[in-house]
Amino acid sequence: MEPTDLPIIDVDVPATWPDPLANLVGRLADDARRSGHPPQYYQDLNLLPYENAVLAELEGHLVRARHHTRLLDHEKDAIRLQGLRLLNAHLVNDRLDQALALGYLTAAEHERLRTVNETVPGQRGWGKREGQVCLTLSAAPQVHDVDGIHRLLTYWGGEAIYWQHCEGSPALAEKLRSLGAPSVVTALLDLAAPVPEGHSVFPSVVHVFVGKALGHEPADADVLYRSPIPPQRIESIVTPA
């Protein structure tokens, strides 16, 4: 059974950073200041050699992260009961089948979305989406990079479902915009836990911490989390302002 009482780290709240992590990040931020490096260019800092050291300081802690999406009410209930599942064809088809059964999609819309989405062989676009949950470490996109999460919050289904329809299929795009409500799922991640394929963080965990320590509020990192997130690690599901 996974522990549920681990201390929580939030990149946006330095008071939650354990002292060894805060000290390491503080030294790296001081080095950047002494070199005259502009805080807004934190991603250009040569920090990757310190990534493993930062991850080691995360052991025994959970890190708060945000999953931006658009959800129907029954999908919110499912996340509260089941957590966040890894993206795959079964998850996509399950969402589409439930939307059809509950009257949100017509049979024609259901068929189109089931046969043309990012999990269908031969239909996949750029990038790998399957086998992961996509999140951001900071809440900053909701204030400083709204364009970066706009489609996720505007079109129902996530990129796997809406990606091939939001521009080329006006009627279907309008339908996807009408379904559900924009939602931010706040989850707690164990970034230090080993997984077979490894989680991906861009630019890196150390970069976002140092960016925050430099006072650059928009600092953030995208996380491709390659483990299901259990329901006890879902903090909240809210509709952003």
Q: What is the residue-wise DSSP string for 27-60?
A: HHHHHHHHTT--GGGGGGS--GGGHHHHHHHTTT
Give percent above pLDDT 70 in the chain: 96
The domain spans of the chain are 1-241
pLDDT on residue 9? 99
What is the distance between the alpha carbons of residues 38 and 216, in angstroms, rounded to a whole number?
9
Tell me: pLDDT of 196 over 90: no
Phi, psi values for residue 65, rounded to 5°: -145, 165
DSSP string, 200-215: EEES-HHHHHHHHHTT
pLDDT-derived band at 217 (thresholds 50, 70, 90) equals: very high
pLDDT-derived band at 76 (thresholds 50, 70, 90) equals: very high
What is the distance between the alpha carbons of residues 203 and 45, in angstroms, rounded to a whole number?
10
pLDDT on residue 129? 77
**What's the predicted TM-score (pTM) here?**
0.94
Tell me: pLDDT of 179 over 70: yes
Backbone CA torsion sign across 214, 219, 225, 228 = positive
